[in-house]
Structure 1
Amino acid sequence: MRQLAAALLLASLPVFAQSPSTPMSDRKMDPFLQQYSETRRFMSGRPVKPRITVDEKTVLFLRAQPQSSTQTLFAFDVATGATKELLTPAVLLKGVEETLSVEEAARRERMRVSARGFTSYDLSEDGERILVGLSGKLYVVERTTGKVVELKTGVGIIDPRFSPDGKQVAYVRDNDVFRVALATNKEQRVTQGGSPEKTHGLAEFVAQEEMSRFSGYWWSPDAKFIAYAESDTSAVEKLTIVDVMHPERGGNVFAYPRPGKNNAVVRLGITPVTGGKTVWVAWDAKAYPYLATVVWQKGGPLTVLVQNRTQTEQQLLSVDARTGKTQVLLTEKDSAWLNLDQDFPRWLEDGSGFLWFTERNGGPEVELRNADGSLARSWVKPEAGFRTLVRFLEKDRTLYFNGDANPTESYVWRVKDGGAPEKLSTGATGPANEMAVTVSKQGGLLVALSQSDTAMPRYHVLRTDGSRVGELPSVAVEPSFTPRVQFFQVGPEGFHASVIRPKDAKPGVKLPVVLKVYAGPTTTVVRHSMAENLLNQWLADKGFLVVKFDGRGTPLRTAAWERQVKYDFATVTLDDQVAALRALAEKVPELDLARVGIEGWSFGGYMAALAVLKRPDVFKAAVSGAPVVDWLDYDTHYTERYLGLPQEHPEAYEKSSLLTYAKDMSKPMRPLLLVHGTADDNVYFFHTLKLSDALFRAGKPHDLLPLSGLTHMVPDPLVTQRQNEWVLGYFQKHLAP
């Protein structure tokens, strides 16, 4: 198993290592922190990935045991409320340990999946068969009889899915698309010539990491053809990750496109499932090199969304599957960038048109478009706070979506025939984050996930008329306390803010502050969520005020608000955190602005390091986890969306790079702890090493905690526990009176 590598003073690492204020050997195991880590943040044992069968009689879901990451398959009976276990990984593996290929492990990393066992499953259209994958093999479960059939495939299966008619299963193996006809249980190759540098049927890195497109092949509605992406990475720069604890094992090589450099060359082919000649789809790939979205739905043609490199323009194209010729349905443009939503387009089954997502009018909006792409009407207005599409029921022209105008909350809404949104309640009282996970195809049943400041996530099974059916049972360990969170809007900009006090806090007594930060595009941190604030309450109870802010550049407000970071990650993001901090202190006078620390991960790690380097007058200590140090070293699709091409906007990269501020000798160096997984294939470990080297050369002491063998996620319970002990110790030492 992976072990925690403590911060060491090594000749090869330019770092001045320090320990927490109390030596680890003298510390007792913190009961909460141990339980928090071993239960995967109290989430193990809770249902995930619910699916409603077409007859609305059963809800399938996955669930692990309270202190396990291995998920098994369950069925909830809608009529009786009873739950039974359908299948376990242990039955299929028969005592053999589960294994993952490098490709599958990387795919799960992109999807942020840390569970084992059954991490996903597919349900046939008629609801009679369930498809599960395990250790690179495939199994079909007959739902009524419980019979399990192993499909006769080669090993190393990726992305398995039923055909629309439920009679076939397709997947990717050895860089090509294969299929199995269930009647014969015989494997057949669908595509030819796939290789590690020219894959067939797999989404390339930036599609998975930044576009949320995790698949690279698509069934035709009649199950006779498959469209597949060919991703040629031969000209893409290759980066190697070596397990530094086991250099004898060699390294894994990944195609990783950095800003201004070559991307994968992606094209789309169409081939009969029985094999044969590929018809290649033709579009202006020079102008629109990104294949962002592909859909092939009943009622509509094969449809693709392609983007230009800077993501300021995109075209939605219909494809003639016989010839590969395309026709433009619509063109979207934005002077800053265009956000993607993989739920769109959504074709109506009668072929009369499709639903479309746009921010053209200042906020997220859902439109109904005619089949030729022309606008029919706006269905969900920008002010409604649309976030995710759940389902569109054509029989009564009702659209279900999740969202709210307040970015700290979320609810389930439905819009009938383009009218006013109607809120559906799952029963929560007070501000909450509720979302419909799925609505049945017939429209009579929904499963909603609900959480609030005082309730952990729960899955409710409801009728769409609002009546309650039951709850998917959890076996999770419940936390021993409830966080005490206060919410504010502060400053003239109305920044959303939250603060957590120690349980024994006394009014008027000044306390050191820890700012938990992300502050970047795509994510907010101020939300009504008990689960997200458990660790923050634990930290607060050690004698801190823990605060969070969402400034400009974050989503869920207006398009203009989010786009304030164009060409500059380092100014408005940090300025807003400082302004919000000072504005909050006017309402919460216990905040000691002379003792402020900051902690974050990924973009938040970048912000934490930026804070002590650029504003040491405000921030007196920082813990920076997996920071992007130089944006020239991150990936193309994310970075160029916000900072543009480095050849065209070098100043954007210069002002946004931590290396720029590391060299600044005019400011004092505040305590900075850098934490990074050595096997991170998203934000590579060399980011932290580059910053450490720059600080070392500038004569600026700092601390480094490498997490040996870990990636951008930290699923190891012991590492999670030790890491948080180090964070606590660091702030106790450097924010003391």
Structure 2
Amino acid sequence: MSSMNGTWRLSGAWLVGLIAAGLCSSGLAAQTRVLTAQDYARAERFLPYRTLPLVDHDVQKVKWLDDGHFWYRDHDADGDHFMQMDIADGKAAPAFDQAKLAFALGKAGGQPVDASKFPHAFDYSVKPDGRLDVRLDDKHYLCDLKDAGTCEAKAGHTGKDAAADEPGVLSPDGKSEAFIRDWNLWLRDVASGRETRLTSDGVEDFGYATDNAGWKHTDHAILEWSPDSSRIATFQQDQRKTGEMYLIRTRVGHPELLKWKYPLVGDKHVTMIERVIIDVAAKKVVRLKMPPDQHRSSLCDDVSCGPDGGWDDVKWAPDGSTLAFVSTSRDHRHEWFRIANATTGAVRTVFDEVVPTWYESGNGAVNWRYLPATHEAIWFSERSNWGQLYLVDLATGKFKHAITRGEGNVTEVLKVDPKTRTVWFRGVGRTPGVNPYYQQFWKVSLEGGQPTLLTPEAADHTISLSPDGKAFVDAYSTPTTPPVTVLRDADDGHALATVARADISRLKASGWVPPIPFTVKARDGKTELYGMMFKPTNFDPSKKYPLIDYVYPGPQTGSVRGRSFAPSRSDHQAMAELGFIVIALDGMGTPWRSKAFHDAYFEHVEDNTLPDQVGAIRQLAAKYPWVDLDRVGIWGHSGGGNATAGAMFHYPDFFKVGWAESGNHDNREYEDDWAEKWQGLLVTGKDGKSNYDAQANQDFARNLKGHLMLTYGTLDDNVPPSNTLLVVQALIKANRDFDMIAIPDVHHGYAAATPYVTRRRWDYFVQYLAGDTPPKAYELKPWPWL
């Protein structure tokens, strides 16, 4: 391999023969090109921060102000425009005076705000008196745009920034925020800022509403307010016996030790929760009459799954008298639907479901619902091999009937109207001939029957439903066609108004080309797999191109990451510009298809969809002569980092170059919830062997033949650095050459170091897979959102 660095002297004849052969003994191309800074600059044009601003009228955010009005952020060559639409007439007008608001926010916050480019995290609602309730990153303001326009930090948020350090969960009536302080739950009056302590027995590692899943630990409170704002459902989280994780911050002088609770696979003592209901007015804690529950969710690997917080598996009755919740076993195979009396704390188990692999309640949000008025519940199950909805009698715990049937999944229930007995839901794979990953929007009666399709276009639909459920905003697109955003009637789906039609003229003028969707057969030779291909814009079919496989194996998601339009998908097109074919493929074992498809490598996470990745690349090479099967590389982050190292160790003659970022290389060194769901509970025999041995990348490191780069953040509190260091230790012991970059003081994502790591990754594949010479120390521009 050292010959790649030019340290060997070769005779002229031998060198000519080597070039003529086109490949060196390792299967990599001899160096033939010297790339310039201009080549990298051309690639940089295809990064998201360069392409996103070139898409006009792609509505990125929609928020309903009330049943009849919503605002949205539009964009064109002049910048961002905040518009408000009245659904009665379908007309839109500026939502507010942007210049005035930007000036007022800049004056209040001490930092100028660009009126044409508000921060991505900008959000607002309208108070009854017409003032704007604005959230700007972690800050919160009340803004009056009358006259000159003024903004003031919201009451109670001065001095110590409570919005950032003690974020509150707003009550339904908008009068109070519940937050955590010193392991107890407190209440903050929104109008006056007055604070009241609700609990007093919370102590370190046994606190109320605390958000700590090990891999995630924040200051946000996890709780659910009752609809009348009189009660709070939450828990006291017991981590007193949970093991700790340690990291050290880079500094001059004595090291700073960071530690927090982080349960691992197989630990005897893991985090548990004791469920409680708090009477707000009486400041009374009612502890539910049941043993401590597992810190588990029916949806994800935390009790709070959504980006906006909340407690997914908890639903109040409208009158706040009872509380329905779902308990999940440690291995995610057993679910219990329970109802608690909010006054007494008495708990009744209504029904349960046991599955042979793992249970999930939907995609994006839990799909079960509590309908106490009719003593019913909606339950989501994959018992038919597809994710469907079922109606349950809460008096008997018996299933009445299936609400949805047939092939295809219900992915997310968006609304239930108990009065009309109607359910609105997103679904995939339910329309023959339509890409099975395209989400469409449906409604169906609780009595069952044929669902009504509300979004007929063969495209991926993003839905925002009005509060009263009578209308919805629908942005539909495909990976190759830009979005059209329309306002529709929720009864039959007919269009009420066009909100915006995206225009990609400026994007095309920059040289952009769309990705190429493709299908191949899975490992079983029958199942269709769907992927995306990216080719250089100066593609020459007479040439042979090395191929780079971007991989994220799941099982909770896949490599392609959505089928809506995106002008850039990661840096796939940018890498293609450097002389590669780049692909992303969702292999068997990833979600959105049938339950059997998702179960493909249950209890064998070392599979990582790699049989499908290898099979797909071979099929593409057989179909396209310009794919060079002798020069295949692979890269990925997190689970993709795990899969990349696994590919280099288990398929060392196929994958020649790998770039593995922050991989969970041995899930016994990762948080308990994720791996115990997909791999099962740790079982160790008398011989010391366990069901986790085959998934440990370090045990196969000796098989490495090609070039492997390992990267990680030294403060990675999601996948601890020890995961990578186990592989490093094994590679050294096996006397294998490898490369490594440790990025100081960054977490699971690389933050401001991302452009540097991206450029180094480009260099690595250019040098070792293409056999070319990268430009010296090209510097990518800082990315605005880092």
Q: Quick check: 1:346–1:355 contact (8 Å CA) kept in 2?
A: yes
For the residues of structure 1 that align with 2:343 and 2:367, how far apart are their CA atoms? Answer: 23
- Does the C-alpha gap of structure 1 residues 225 and 609 become closer, same or farther in structure 2, counting only changes over 3 Å? same
The answer on 1:367 being equivalent to 2:390 is: yes
2:105 pairs, out of 87, 91, 94, with 91
In structure 2, distance between residues paired with 1:61 and 1:289: 37
Match of 2:556 in 1: 522
Q: Residue 31 of structure 1: CA displacement?
A: 4.8
2:65 maps to which of 47, 53, 68: 53
Distance 1:474 1:653 in 2: 48
Whether 1:653 aligns to 2:653 is no
Q: Scaled by the length of structure 2, what TM-score is found?
A: 0.77
Q: What is aligned with 2:342?
A: 321
Measure how far apart 1:278 and its partner are. 1.2
- State which of 164, 169, 183 in structure 1 corresponds to 2:177: 169
Kindly indicate whether residue 638 of structure 2 is the aligned counterpart of residue 617 of structure 1: no
Q: What's the offset of the Cα at 1:215?
A: 5.4
Q: How far 1:370 sits from its partner (Å)?
A: 2.9
Tell whether 2:82 aligns with 1:82.
no
Tell me how far apart the structure 2 counterparts of residues 89 and 171 of structure 1 sit (CA, whole Å). 31
Equivalences for residues 126-525 of structure 1 within 5 A: 138-139=140-141, 150-152=154-156, 155-157=161-163, 158-182=166-190, 184-205=192-213, 216-244=222-250, 250-261=256-267, 262-285=269-292, 290=296, 292=303, 293-298=313-318, 301-341=322-362, 342-348=365-371, 350-372=373-395, 373-381=397-405, 383-405=407-429, 406-417=435-446, 418-425=448-455, 432-436=459-463, 438-456=464-482, 459-464=485-490, 465-471=493-499, 478=507, 480=510, 481-490=512-521, 491-507=525-541, 509-525=543-559
Q: Secondary structure at the match of 1:386?
A: strand
**Structure having greater relative contact order (Cα 8 Å, sep ≥ 6):** 1
Shift of 1:592: 1.6
CA distance in 2, matches of 1:629, 1:708: 20
CA distance in 1, matches of 2:650, 2:770: 22
Aligned residues of 2:54 and 2:507 also touching (Cα < 8 A):
no
Q: Indicate the RMSD between aligned Cα atoms, in angstroms.
A: 3.9
Once residues 225 and 66 of structure 1 are traced to their aligned partners in structure 2, the CA distance between those partners, rounded to angstroms, is 49
User: In the superposition, relative to structure 1, how do residues 92 and 273 fare at CA in structure 2: closer, same or farther (>3 Å)?
Assistant: farther
Q: Structure 1 residue 552 and structure 2 residue 588: aligned?
A: yes
Distance 1:234 1:297, change over 3 A: same
2:727 is paired with a residue of what secondary structure?
A: helix
Name the CA distance, whole Å, in 2 between partners of 1:250 and 1:408.
46
Indicate conservation of the 8 Å contact 1:599/1:624, yes or no. yes
Deviations 1:228-268 (A, max 9, x none): 22112222222233332667672432211111113222111
Q: Matches of 2:762 and 2:279 in 1, distance apart? A: 58
Q: Deviations over 1:559-601 (max 9, x none)?
A: 1221222221123732222222223333333322111111111
Counterpart secondary structure, 1:651: coil
Aligned length, in residue pairs: 686
1:380 is paired with a residue whose SS is coil
Partner of 1:592: 628
Does 459-468 or 384-393 show the bigger shift? 459-468
Percent of aligned pairs with the same residue? 23
Corresponding position: 1:674 with 2:710: yes
Q: In structure 2, how many angstroms separate the alpha carbons of the residues matched to 1:340 and 1:608?
A: 30
Q: Give the structure 2 partner of residue 606 of structure 1.
A: 642
Instruction: Quote the Cα distance in structure 1 between the aligned partners of 2:657 and 2:256.
Output: 37
Contact 2:156 2:192 in 1 (8 A): no
Shift of 1:397: 3.2
Work out the CA distance in 2 between the residues paired with 1:159 and 1:379. Answer: 39
State the Cα distance separating 1:639 from its structure 2 match: 0.6
For residues 144 and 340 of structure 2, what CA distance do their matches in structure 1 show? 36
Matched residue of 1:419: which SS? strand
Task: Quote how far apart the aligned CAs of 1:92 are.
Answer: 7.5
- Distance change in 2, residues 1:165/1:403 (3 Å): same
Paired with 2:680 and 2:353, the residues of 1 have a C-alpha distance of 18
Deviates more, 1:36-45 or 1:464-473: 36-45
Unaligned runs of 5+ in 1: 1-19, 99-114
Following the alignment from structure 1 to structure 2, what is the Cα–Cα distance between the partners of residues 335 and 21? 54
SS of equivalent to 1:696: helix
Offset of residue 364 of structure 1 = 0.8
Which of residues 638, 641, 645 is equivalent to 2:674? 638
SS in structure 1 of the partner of residue 357 of structure 2: coil
Q: 1:377 deviation in Å? A: 2.4
Deviation at 1:449? 3.5
Give the AA of the match of 1:296: W
What amino acid is aligned across from residue 152 of structure 1 in structure 2?
Answer: G
Distance 1:627 1:65 in 2: 39
Equivalent position of 2:306 in the other structure? none
Counterpart code for 2:699: T
Distance 1:340 1:207 in 2: 21
Change (3 A) 1:64 1:42: closer
Greater Cα offset, 637-646 or 274-283: 274-283
TM-score (norm: length of structure 1): 0.82
Change (3 A) 1:408 1:384: closer
One-letter identity of the residue aligned with 2:230: K
- Determine if contact 1:600/1:623 at 8 Å carries over to the other structure: yes
- The offset of 1:395, in angstroms, is 4.3
Distance 1:505 1:83 in 2: 44
CA 1:706/1:455 → structure 2, altered by over 3 Å: closer, same or farther?
farther
Assess, with a 3 A threshold, how the Cα gap between structure 1 residues 637 and 370 changes in structure 2: closer, same or farther.
same
Give the deviation of 1:133 after TM superposition.
5.2
Q: Which amino acid aligns with 1:485?
A: I
Deviation by residue 1:112-143 (Cα, 9 ceiling, x = unmatched): xxx9774667889x998976556866556799
Aligned twin of 2:15: none
Are the counterparts in 1 of residues 51 and 507 from structure 2 also a CA contact under 8 Å? no
> Using the alignment, how far apart are the partners of 1:578 and 1:280 within structure 2?
53
Distance 1:191 1:44 in 2: 50
Separation in structure 2 between the aligned mates of residue 354 and residue 424 of structure 1, nearest angstrom: 24
Structure 1 range deviating more: 223-232 or 569-578: 569-578
Deviation, 1:707, is 3.0
The amino acid that maps onto 1:435 is T
* Aligned-pair CA distance for 1:41: 6.2
Shift in Å, 1:703: 1.1
Q: Distance in 1 between matches of 2:713 and 2:651?
A: 26
